[in-house]
Amino acid sequence: MSLPPLDSLPATTPPAAPSPTSTTTTAAGDVSCPAHPASTQPPPATCPPTTTCSPPAAARLTSLSRLTRLVVTLFPLLLIGTWAALDRSAVLDGVARLGDADPWWLLAGFLFTLLGWVVAACVRQGALPERLPPGLLLASQLAAGAANHVLPASIGAHAVTLRFLRGRGIPLARATASLALYSLVKPMARIPVLIVFLMAVGDTLRFGALAPDRSTLLAAAGSAALGLTTVCLLVTTVRPLRRPAVDFVRTALTDVRILHTRPSRVLALWGGSAVAPVLQGSTIAAVGFALGLPLSWAQVVFALLIASTAVGAVPAPGGIGPVDAAMVFTMVSLGAPTGLSTATVIGYRVLTVWIPLLPGTLILSALVHRKVL
């Protein structure tokens, strides 16, 4: 048996030695870090060590967060103390007059005030398709009432409500649409109520004293037209505002259609908006009856409706100032003495603003501290 020649055998190549820079592949196909000889060579710079945040930096962030929350919690109390110090004469005068008033009528006025907060919570719920927790919703309205008397044009109340809705998981577009619907329905629902009370007190009303002059009407119409024109120009000319405005309008129209297919939401929204000024006027009437105001309940409610309609758009905190002056003027036009009308309005503000302001502020601070707002 002869052996084959050596040059006919297949050539074999010995396996190459692993390079120090070669990579190894795992069973799953992932490429690991470069393989190193089992020597004392350090790993290459391509595998950086893991870095973590230093404990002092994390502690500083935590302390800053706590300090910010504490400042936000105590800020409403600071504003209340400042406002009380600046307006202490009106507060003391109103408290002194309420001390000589009939306590039962004052108790009735305070009950009307409580019902007004419940109605405000119902209107807020009626302007939103999602169901909100009733207890937290009522607490947010008490806090919103305190904030409303610090910032003008209901900015404080809307800001608190917006934070509450965002905390409940409501999208920003839907939350702002709810606030817009709330602000739009309230004056619209007041018109039929005003007509009803106008028919009730028409025989005793002197229209000449209450009718606005031509310059006032022109100023009001010019302000409304200027505001509407400014909004339209901003939306059409400023490109970053166009898309949010379109999304807001689309969301608002969708929510209005959904809400008006639910009778409970319609009743809460429109019924609550119509009842709210009646309860507010009933509070003023109760304070007036406690002081001996010679006007009927219908006349006092009508005076409030006229005053809030005439100067309700003036940007004053909680409507204090312009609405008060218009209330006194309207009640005097209906036959009440000036001093007694002024005392009624001061007592009404003490009963509905100053007495609930401290608990409302404490509720606001508690909601901020618990991250509800």
Task: Specify which of 38-42, 83-87, 366-370 reaches the highest per-range mean pLDDT.
Answer: 366-370
Whole-number pLDDT of residue 26: 45
Q: Which two tokens stand for residue 195?
A: 């007509």
**Res 36: pLDDT:** 47
pLDDT at residue 263, rounded to an integer: 92
Highest mean pLDDT among 2-16, 146-160, 184-198, 349-363: 184-198
Residue with tokens 């992932």: 30
Read off the pLDDT of each residue in 289-317 and give the average, rounded to a whole number: 79
pLDDT at 205: 57
Mean pLDDT to the nearest integer, 57-63: 64
Q: Name the more confident of 192 and 205.
A: 192
What are 226-247's pLDDT values in tens digits? 767 776 777 677 777 777 777 7
Residue 300 has pLDDT above 70, yes or no: yes
**DSSP 8-state class, residue 152:** B
Residue that wins the pLDDT comparison between 253 and 62: 253
pLDDT at residue 319 above 70?
Answer: no
pLDDT mean over 69-91: 59
Closest CA to 142 of 365, 371, 339: 365
Across the strands, what pairs with 317? Answer: 152
pLDDT of residue 253: 87
Residue type at position 120 = A
Mean pLDDT of 192-202: 84
Per-residue pLDDT at 46 exceeds 60: no
Query: So what's the pLDDT on residue 339?
Result: 80
The Cα 253–Cα 267 span in angstroms is 19
144-164: pLDDT as tens digits: 887 777 666 578 788 889 999
The answer on pLDDT for 288 being more than 70 is: yes
Give 208-215 contacts, CB < 8 A, sequence gap 24+. 209/333, 210/306, 210/330, 210/333, 212/310
pLDDT-based confidence at 70, cuts 50/70/90?
A: low
Residue % of the chain over a pLDDT of 90: 17
Query: Are 105 and 284 within 8 A, CB to CB?
Result: no
Task: State the average pLDDT for the chain.
Answer: 75
**Kindly report the CA angle at 260 between 259 and 262, in degrees rounded to 5?**
70
Contacts (Cβ under 8 Å, ≥6 apart) of 356: 113, 142, 145, 146
Residue with tokens 């919103």: 144
pLDDT value of position 30 = 46
pLDDT of residue 269: 93
Q: Residue 275: its pLDDT value, please?
A: 93
Listing DSSP states for 339-366 in one string gives HHHHHHHHHHHIIIIIHHHHHHHHHHHH
Cα separation, 209 vs 94, whole angstroms: 27
The whole-angstrom separation of Cα 156 and Cα 75 is 13
- Check the CA dihedral 77-82-85-89 and report its sign: negative
Looking at residue 57, what is its pLDDT? 61
For position 321, what pLDDT does the model report? 62
- Judge whether residue 29 has pLDDT over 50: no
Q: Please, what's the largest Cα pairwise distance for the chain?
A: 143
